[in-house]
Every structure is written in structure tokens, then in C-alpha cells.
Chain A
Amino acid sequence: MRGGALPPALLCAALGLALSFAPRRIYPFALIVLVLGALAASFLSFPAVWQDGLFLGCWASIVLAALLIHLPGGIGAKLALAVALNSGFWAGAVIATAGVKLDLAKALPLALLCLPGAWVVSTKRGIALKVVASWLIAVSILGAALPLVPTPGYKPDHMD
């Protein structure tokens, strides 16, 4: 098992947290870009040898989205759209290479975290989101590091 829908789900969650610090008017466009990007990438066929690289891109995108939260002044509209497109691509690519299309339905809704997140930011408690984002960064670093050693957890088992 290699996480299934978990890496794309964490990516969408990180995007949702990042969008919490973006202007609200951009939310629908960013979410549409995310979904379209993910769907498009999920229909691409990637060589099997690219799998590690695609997972690495997914983890790096989580770190990127989580770090953007710390930008002074929040995230601009163009940057929000760019991050949404980037997140959609990597989420779709990971599912295309090591998942099933249904995993997208599990992962993408987590981007809606931007709605409660925006409320938390508006109540001047955005610092809580920054703490949660640091947890996502930690998980991503660990996820990126795991392929360094052969681990039994990556071998097919009775769940695969």
C-alpha cells in the first residue's frame, strides 16, 4: 500500500488551507481549476518509472501550498489560481499512476476546507491554520523520504 487517496487528499487539504488566506471571490474559479486539472491529469498515462517522481511532486506541492499560508498579506488571486492548477495536476497524476479514479472523489472535497478556513481567518484565529499546515509539511517531508529505503509497506499486500 502506498497511501491510496491519502497523498492527493492531503494536497487538497493543503490547498484548502492556503485558499483560506486568499480573496473569497476567487474560490469558485480556484476550485474549478483544481477539479479540471485533476481530471485532465488523471486521464494521462505516465510511465511506471515516473511513479516516485510523481509522488515527490505531490509531496513538494503540499509543502508549497502549506508554506504559502505564511506569506505576509495573504495569497493573491493569480497565485491562488496557479496553486490550484498545480495541486490539481499533481493530485490527478498520482491517482493516474497509483490509484483509481474514485480516489479523486475522496480527495477533491477536502479543498472545501477553504470555507471554514476563511471563517477562522476572519475571526483572527488564522494562526491555528498555520499550525495545522506545519503538520502537513511534516507529513510531506516524511512521505517524500520514505522511498529512500525499501519498506515493506510499499510492497503489494492483501489490501492491494
Chain B
Amino acid sequence: MQGLEPEIMSRSRSGYEDGRKCRPEKPHANHLCPNENARPSMAEDASYIEKTHAPKKLVISAALSSIRTVFHSGRKRLAGKLAGRGALALTTAVAMLAAGPAEAHMGTGLPGGFASGFLHPLTGFDHMLAMVSVGLWGAFLGRPLIVALPVIFPTVMAFGAFLGIANVPFPPVEIGIGLSVLILGCAIAAAWRAPVWAACLIVAIFGLFHGYAHGKELPSAADPIGFAVGFVLSTGLLHVAGIGIGLLNDRPGGIAVTRTLGGLVGVAGLYFLATAIFK
């Protein structure tokens, strides 16, 4: 926004330097028009109305009114012009009917609340694979870690987010996240029966990295608490999904399946790590 201010200020003082009427390239820039006499075209008006959620009935009514004016006017000289305007209005009305509703906050840097937070871990494969892997590894290790890991991870993740919000210096986050996917995947693939303290420590450290990444984005949400509730819930459900996959271990051949899945996660982790290092 700051980059646009000099241009806007310049227009408000002197208008367009090349003598154009106020016909901005982007329809939604109509309100920046420096020349009050320069009437925006009907198409521009209609576009602006669309952006401001005007009811479609109003637009249709305006179009019909314009057409009626054409047919009832006795002045043949004006009939051509008015017919053109009527046709334009009709076209606009059809376009209005075909258009979807305007989406508020699009592209403003404010991703929203609960829904955005809930989708956030699901849209990043690195986060998603790590969360599922925590549940899967917990299921592989059995009690008490099947419960301890899903409890520890979100709690420590919140501390990581706290560090991110407070802008505390932190090691390269993307490398940490890539490493988390790699190590968790390899631990599952190798069927590593880690001691309780080691498993808790590993998951806690990785939780810090994932939380830090979330925390850096959290303050820019339109509804930060809703965003936080969404992504914590989503994270927890991904753990539960991992535990659900881990239930395959009780079936014949199930362990081979989960270990294969762990191997695939490890390969993905290697890719994420390489991308983070060499980008």
C-alpha cells in the first residue's frame, strides 16, 4: 500500500498528465478519480457496483429502465445513442447475473479466521506429513507415547508460535521442518523403538519449528484467535489420523504397510530438506 501512495497523491493533485478522462485501468480504482466532471462509463459503474455487493435486482431494474426509455422516447436522433446504452446495460445485467459475489479481504494479507487456520496445516505438505507422522510414530511406539506425543506436540508448538510472534531469533525454520519430516519418516520406516524421553524430546524440538513457522504468520490473520483455534484443531486431527493409520499395525502385514508409508514420508522429508538448503 505504501508504494501506491505517491501515485495516488500525485493523481489527486494534478489528475492524469496525458489528458485522459478518468478511465482507470482497474475498475475498482474509480474512487481515485481526480476529475469530478469525468463521469465513469456505465460498464465501470456496473463493475464498481459488483465490487460493492449491489443486489442483482437493482442492476436488472436499471437496465430495464434504460431500455424502456429507448422505446418510449419520441426523439429518433437520440434513439440510436440510447439503444446503445440500453444494450450495454442489458449486457452488463447479464454479466452481473453470471458473476459470483465479491470476496472481501482477498489479497489484503489478512487470511481470515478459523477456516484459514484449519486449512493452513492441510495446504502445506511438509506440515501435514510431520503431523501425521507424529501420530503414526506414537501408534507404532504404543503406550504411553501414543497419547504423550499428540499431547506434547501442540503444547510445544504453541510455545514455538509464541517465539515466532515475539520475533525471537531462531535457527532456519524450513530446514528444521524438512528435518522433522525426514527423521520422523525414517523412525517409522526403521521401526525405531525410541525410549520415551528420546521420543518426547524429538517431537518437542520439531514442534518448536512448526510452531515458529505458524507464529510468524499468526499476527497477520484477521481473526488471530479463530486462526489459532483452527490450526491447533487441524493439527490435532492430523495426529489422530496418524494414529488411525497406525492401527493397521494390528493387522497381518500392517506393519510392513506403515513402514513403507514411513519410508515415503522420509523421501518427502529429504526433498523438503534439500529444497530448504539449496533454494
Contacts and interface: CB of A to CB of B under 8 A. Distances in A.
Contacts, number: 103
Contacts of B157: 138
Nearest to B114: A6
A153 B223 contact: yes
B225 interface: yes
A154 interface: yes
A145 B166 contact: yes
B232 interface: yes
A6 B233 CA distance: 14
Nearest to B151: A134
Nearest to A134: B151
A139 B166 contact: no
B222 interface: yes
B221 interface: yes
A135 interface: yes
A150 B166 CA distance: 11
Interface string B136-148: 0000000000010
Interface residues of A, number: 30
A149 B162 contact: no
Given A138-B157, A152-B220, A3 B225 contact: yes
Interface size class of B (residues with CB under 8 A): 35 or more
A134 B222 contact: no
Given A131-B151, A149-B166, A149-B167, A139 B228 contact: yes
A146 B229 contact: no
Given A139-B158, A139-B229, A152-B220, A146 B151 contact: no
Nearest to B224: A153
A3 B218 CA distance: 14
Interface string A115-145: 0000000000001001110110111111101
Interface of B: 104, 109-110, 113, 147, 150-152, 154-155, 157-159, 161-162, 165-167, 215, 218-229, 232-233, 236, 239
Given A140-B158, A142-B215, A145-B162, 13 more contacts: A6-B229, A10-B229, A131-B239, A134-B150, A135-B233, A139-B232, A141-B158, A142-B165, A146-B228, A148-B166, A151-B219, A153-B222, A157-B222
Interface of A: 1-3, 6-7, 10, 127, 130-132, 134-135, 137-143, 145-146, 148-154, 157-158
